[in-house]
Chain A
């Protein structure tokens, strides 16, 4: 049915065109959000960096260095007797129990392999932790990530959604509140799986450990005066520093998501263009076929008619049919 085929193709082209409109709109929206997300990252980074400075200065102090958040410090409160300010890294913390794994995913898909990469990295980390005989405790951000873990029978201890596009500091605070609860319960370690935004052209999924803190080499010989004691400052610093780190990670994840989405939607728009071109070619072909068939039928019919009429015309001399003109 050549005529039917043409109509069918025309309908498909129209459908692809409307899909293309959507993908193009999504591409533009994502592109416009990238720069805003980038600005948010540059605004938030100094805060996290300054807190990291304070933490590293504390790490250089022997009294604070014994704090449980540092690698080789005293055991975490809850895991053993709450020895807040035990000086010197004498008590070697055993393997921390039930580390917290914070997974920062996205609420929506249609962003290429963005979610896939995050989920895969998280699964690898979980498998690695499970291999050490520990049961990781999941704190998951993003609807897609939540359903990924639910599907695999790993109910997250805490989950958040709805702010992956444009996270605010309060959101980081919520996440860290959940993490702190687990830390209080004796989880000795915190890992974060998230997409780092290195540049608009390069993002990478990273699993990194926030707690216990790696003790950095002392930067200078400056002796700091701490008020109140270093351990007390550490207790106040820890949640704030986690908030700052999680906030920056959330922002970077959001920016990376927008970049992925923009790239994916640009590719989808191009593919739709390609598809429309191919379909249009098929449609024109089908139309030409049906036109050719129609002409053949007309010509055939006319030919048959002329042959019948031609004989009659010979008997009527006042009518003359030019054979070429018909």
Chain B
């Protein structure tokens, strides 16, 4: 399964960086999911949950196969380009 590079960046520093199969978050237009090779996109991130679903048998960060990371994020931006999802937000917590 194809994966996409994911980065979660806050003013306090990068919070997460790794590969994932799918990323979901809330934007102005509603919840959005990004799979690998999503088209170039810039959107406004709404406060909510950010889910990073790890690839089968692979590892997004340190998690096992098929598991997912959850972050609570505040407002910010989502930028997708060249198979890379960058989530830039004011503050984020979570990842368990």
Query: Which residues from chain A contact B88 at a C-beta distance below 8 Å?
Result: 47, 50-51, 54
Q: Does the CB pair B40–A222 fall under 8 Å?
A: yes
Most buried by A among B9, B11, B44, B76: B11
Chain A: interface size category? 20 to 34
Query: Which residues from chain A contact B81 at a C-beta distance below 8 Å?
Result: 57, 222, 224
Considering the complex, which residues of chain A in the window 34-57 have a beta carbon less than 8 Å from any beta carbon of chain B? 42-44, 46-47, 50-51, 53-54, 57
Q: Does the CB pair B77–A54 fall under 8 Å?
A: yes
Q: Find A227's partner among B9, B13, B42, B76 (CB 8 Å cutoff).
A: B42
Closest Cβ of chain A to B7, distance in Å, is 8
Q: Does the CB pair B11–A247 fall under 8 Å?
A: yes
Interface of A is mostly: helix
Q: Given A54-B77, A222-B40, A227 and B28 touching (CB < 8 A)?
A: yes
Query: Which residues from chain B contact A244 at a C-beta distance below 8 Å?
Result: 11
Closest Cβ of chain B to A137, distance in Å, is 26
- Bitwise interface map of B from 22 to 43 toward A, beta carbon under 8 Å scored 1, else 0: 0000011100000000011111
- Bitwise interface map of A from 214 to 247 toward B, beta carbon under 8 Å scored 1, else 0: 0000000011111110101100110010011001
Q: Given A44-B11, A51-B77, A54-B88, A227 and B40 touching (CB < 8 A)?
A: no
Closest B residue by C-beta to A236:
B44
Rounded to whole angstroms, the CA-CA distance of A81 and B35 in the bound complex is 42
Rounded to whole angstroms, the CA-CA distance of A50 and B88 in the bound complex is 7
Q: Find B44's partner among A169, A172, A224, A228 (CB 8 Å cutoff).
A: A228
Rounded to whole angstroms, the CA-CA distance of A43 and B11 in the bound complex is 7
Q: Find A224's partner among B11, B12, B41 (CB 8 Å cutoff).
A: B41
Q: Given A44-B12, A47-B10, A51-B88, A225 and B42 touching (CB < 8 A)?
A: yes
Rounded to whole angstroms, the CA-CA distance of A57 and B81 in the bound complex is 10
Verify if A58 is at the interface (C-beta below 8 Å from B): yes
Q: Does the CB pair A57–B42 fall under 8 Å?
A: yes
Please report the number of residue pairs spanning A and B whose Cβ atoms sit closer than 8 angstroms: 78
Q: Given A225-B41, A233-B42, A240 and B76 touching (CB < 8 A)?
A: yes
Verify if B82 is at the interface (C-beta below 8 Å from A): yes
Verify if B86 is at the interface (C-beta below 8 Å from A): yes
Q: Does the CB pair B43–A227 fall under 8 Å?
A: yes
Q: Does the CB pair A227–B41 fall under 8 Å?
A: yes
Verify if B14 is at the interface (C-beta below 8 Å from A): yes
Closest Cβ of chain A to B38, distance in Å, is 10
Rounded to whole angstroms, the CA-CA distance of A227 and B46 in the bound complex is 12
Q: Find B27's partner among A53, A58, A224, A227 (CB 8 Å cutoff).
A: A227
Query: Which residues from chain A contact B56 at a C-beta distance below 8 Å?
Result: none
Q: Find A233's partner among B29, B40, B44 (CB 8 Å cutoff).
A: B44
Q: Does the CB pair B13–A44 fall under 8 Å?
A: yes
Closest Cβ of chain A to B16, distance in Å, is 12
Closest Cβ of chain A to B41, distance in Å, is 5
Chosen A-B contacts, 10 in total, with CB atoms closer than 8 Å, are A42-B13, A46-B9, A50-B9, A50-B79, A50-B86, A57-B42, A169-B11, A225-B42, A226-B43, A227-B41
